[in-house]
Amino acid sequence: MTRTPIPFSRPRPGEQPPYLYEPYASTIKRAPRRTPVPVQQTLSEVTGPSFPAGWVGAPTTDLTRPGKGEALGQRIIVAGRLLDEDGKPISGSLVEVWQCNAAGRYLHDGDVHDAPIDPNFTGYGRALTDGQGEYRFLTIKPGAYPWRNTHNAWRPAHIHFSLFGNAFATRLITQMYFPGDPLLATDPIFNSVSDEAARRGLICDYDAGLSEAEYALGYRFDIVLRGRASTPMGQ
């Protein structure tokens, strides 16, 4: 007997960024010019992937010590839960992060920002969520950096997240921001999400209980995949 897949709930208007948001200049060139064609969800979209036997490689949850030396900058702990649209934890799912260093520079040939490269910081980590959907990384707070969207534009400090969830249709790439950052008010990527509550969902919360005394500040960032109250996708 073939079971008809239950479709995911659709987010309300404004909870996800539009394909075209003119203040974010690059969307003008890459946004589709025709109405997207809806694709019916089948078992291929609402099931998988799985990550058994550690084939994605060993977890790299400490970004501060990729080698012999220690990365420069303010140590932070970033932790949270991966949830489905009903608030249930998603266990055994791959969470990947990448970010610039404390000076605002990525370890990438395409980054020409005149800021120092930290030889002890790659800016990449990965982990599998535990039975309660929890993940945890120790890293360095990223710096702001300039970009050429407009004259004198700077990106607020952020960490990129890549998440798979428990179905291919829940695949999500997003960005996590920090509370109190003055650059959020003028950042077009952050502000492309018009719903205020959804936009706030991109900002982590300071968590004193997660912090480690005299060592690292703690920030909590829970992520909801697909459907109601889903975390906005990063552009």
Distance between CA atoms of residues 70 and 75, nearest Å: 10
List Cβ neighbours of 115 (8 Å cut-off, separation of 6 or more): 101, 103, 104, 105, 143, 145
Cβ atoms of residues 225 and 84 within 8 Å: yes
Give alpha helix (H) positions in 128-221.
188-191, 196-200
Q: Which of 205, 157, 162, 165 is nearest to 181 (CA)?
A: 157
Distance between CA atoms of residues 5 and 120, nearest Å: 47
Cβ atoms of residues 234 and 174 within 8 Å: yes
Cβ atoms of residues 85 and 9 within 8 Å: yes
Write down the number of H helices and E strands in the chain: 4, 11
Catalytic residues: 106, 145, 155, 158, 160
